[in-house]
Structure 1
């Protein structure tokens, strides 16, 4: 072998050795990231109050004396939407971008340092190295950002002080032209983060509230017999965009073939005893999926446009309603959903009824009398926005009830009479954004599903720890539920 070939061989062996030492580096795009990435968000174009706040923050970005900006306000007031609008406004700048890069990071209440560092690294197109120490990642983030001419770091939904040194982010005071914006519910967090300016995000005024709710709800909010109730609901939402959009969406007119969430079917089927209640919720849900696939194969259900939903063809629906309305063997149903009713007819509420769906109407009040429906297992009242109370006598004749759905109504509290429903398996109150309190629930020992999504409760009802059969508890988007008594969740099944 020639001397030259020997030297070449040594070079090749050296390169192979270097390659093995970098085998833990994951492939990555080393191209320069775009200065701003557009983020989906609701429009605030026609809302004067948030538009003024946005203009104020934009002006602060041009102020060389301001490096840290805190935007604060109560949950649901629109802080995230406001800052997303700011991000997209920077994206649409016709001239030179004011920042070399804009980085959006979602923090949330359960702050995870590594997760946040990963978000920043991905935005900077940094390579991911398996087994890399936190110190090494911090250094790489710092070096990358230090080379950027200037940056804007947006920290959304901050609940506590965050040390920028541990994130790997240079102090904006030491990096000319760079700035940080944070959103938080608490003014103290702004102070702990040493913001130069604090901008409070105000609620919408009455006119803006009505415009947002009516725009979300569509023409149904302007109907003569609905408009007074819709305006009252808008006032009850106290100018909070999240509450207004939630209630507006619940009001929006639904067609006969609107999407049905598979999770809702799972709740009802489980509560009705159509599934084995000895299974855990995950197994039951999987069984629902399999059953739905069988029904779809028979062309009785169809895939909907939305993920995890199905729909029923209007002809199939009409036949199904005719069938369940004709039974006389204890399975008879009274289907009165989505037909614009303002009240329930006591004459039609017969003792032979098994299922009573009155959802998506405009029912104002329930009958103030005992209704003998001792065989009824399901009462569906969701989506009746004007409905603001449950009268004492009404539920007394529903002793066999297993499913009660009052989601998306305007009720402020739940009457003690609900505690007489000893067979109740599912209590669904999601979207009742004015529901502030619940009675003690320890008497509902057979309850399996409790849905309190997007309510206004301040604390969990007493007796929760005794609900030993509870399989699903939904507490998401409860912006005023800030504390849960220690041990309650642990004691649930």
Structure 2
């Protein structure tokens, strides 16, 4: 159609302008650090169409590097073919982007929906009997013509081979009391939750961790799963990785997760993310069960924001620009997992910080500039996993000997010297660690 470049860019709920620029630069084969001016120069005399998929906020096309279509090299007026198309769930975004034409994407008609649904189920099974086909159509109707629901529910049903199983699922969907209505998230989530319920029970928590912490790399997720005892019964790391790959495959085949080999990160649909958050909060009943917060302003004192809610939390994950950790004055008995990661302004951990966390089993302090662990670490008598990688810690406190249940200690890229490592391998033997991992910059020093 006469275009020099057709650029298809996928966005998501929290995509930043810089990330979109990187994607465009990659499509144009520019350097990875190409910015607004580089993209502008590459496109200013070209005919282009830019396709932006799934944007949640208006995108500033000038700051993105997309040119004024009527300006040539010498500033004279010359029209280039210049089209921008985008998809969004917000009419407000359409207005603020000054869209000249809007096309509302309707739900699929029943016949179209049936074709997509059959593509994702075991077709031979549902076409083997008219009663089977009738029940399958009823299940399909509960998806309300939404492609994502049709795909996810269809995949979840692909291994159900009896009429009784399908009737049970249909009854479950009917009892949820919801019909999918386009644009109504609340009605879609219970339907999609069926795909979560259909997962093997032992990987439910794996899915929630991978979905809610979708910025983690695949290897980081493996360590998280191991540390939370979600992967067990393995002899060595190679076997653990094998189990993790099987879990990822199961989640991908269920259309719940996608894996990007380009940056080694997990990908998932925004609605799947919302479903995971909803499930993790006991279907919206306990919104403080998982506290996940990235502080992007500076300075920011966590104590003044949400420390009060920690007493109800099972997981607390914080990152960003933080100077001070809260002084906890109340017992956090339900807190099992605490991740304070990639915080470059945090100078120290308050002396009594860990006193109120008697049941904590997982602690990740990686990527923080802390220089030592406080003596109150000895209070974490149920701790099984401790990650101090990429910190300024140069020695381990003798209080670690009180951590009788510790199974994993990760310390990549720290200032721990050889003498310190030898000393604490001896300490490990004294406290009878089951698994002990001390990792240097490039290799594993000990795996016992």
Q: Provide the TM-score with structure 1 as the length reference.
A: 0.41
Larger radius of gyration: 1
TM-score between the two structures when normalised by the length of structure 2: 0.45
Per chain length, whose mean CA-contact separation is higher, i.e. which structure has more relative contact order (CA < 8 Å, sep 6+)?
A: 1
